[in-house]
Homo-oligomer: A and B are copies of this chain.
Amino acid sequence: MNDGRSRKVGDFAHLDVDRARRRGYPEAIYCEGKTPEQVGAIALSLREVEQTTLFTRARPEHADAVLEVLDDVFYDPDAGFLAYPAAAPEPSGVSVLVLCAGTSDLPVAKEAMHTARYLGRAVSLIADVGVAGIHRLLSYEEELHSAGVIVIAAGMDGALPSVVGGLVSCPVVAVPTSVGYGAGSGGVAPLLTMLNSCAPGVGVVNIDNGYGAGHLAAQIAAR
A-side residues, CB < 8 A to B, are 1, 3, 5-6, 11-14, 16, 18-19, 22-25, 28, 30, 32-34, 38, 101-104, 106, 125, 127-136, 139-140, 156-159, 162-163, 165-171, 173, 176, 178-184, 186-209, 211-212, 215-216, 219-220, 222-223
Q: Choose from B156, B157, B205 the contact partner of A203 (Cβ within 8 Å).
A: B205
Q: Choose from B32, B101, B134, B158 the contact partner of A167 (Cβ within 8 Å).
A: B134
Q: How far is the CB of A90 from chain B (nearest CB, A)?
A: 18
Q: Choose from B134, B179, B197, B206 the contact partner of A195 (Cβ within 8 Å).
A: B206
Alpha-carbon gap, A112 to B131, bound state (A): 24
| Contact between A132 and B198, CB atoms less than 8 A apart | yes
| Contact between A159 and B198, CB atoms less than 8 A apart | yes
Q: Choose from B22, B28, B176, B184 the contact partner of A200 (Cβ within 8 Å).
A: B28
| Contact between B206 and A183, CB atoms less than 8 A apart | yes
Chain B residues near A169 (CB, 8 Å)?
A: 22-25, 219, 222
Known contacts A165-B132, A182-B196, A196-B156: A104-B34 contact under CB 8 Å: yes
Alpha-carbon gap, A196 to B187, bound state (A): 11
Known: A1-B136, A183-B192, A192-B192. 6 other contacts (CB 8 A): A11-B125, A33-B102, A159-B159, A173-B203, A189-B193, A203-B216
| Contact between A187 and B195, CB atoms less than 8 A apart | no
Alpha-carbon gap, A18 to B139, bound state (A): 14
| Contact between B199 and A128, CB atoms less than 8 A apart | no
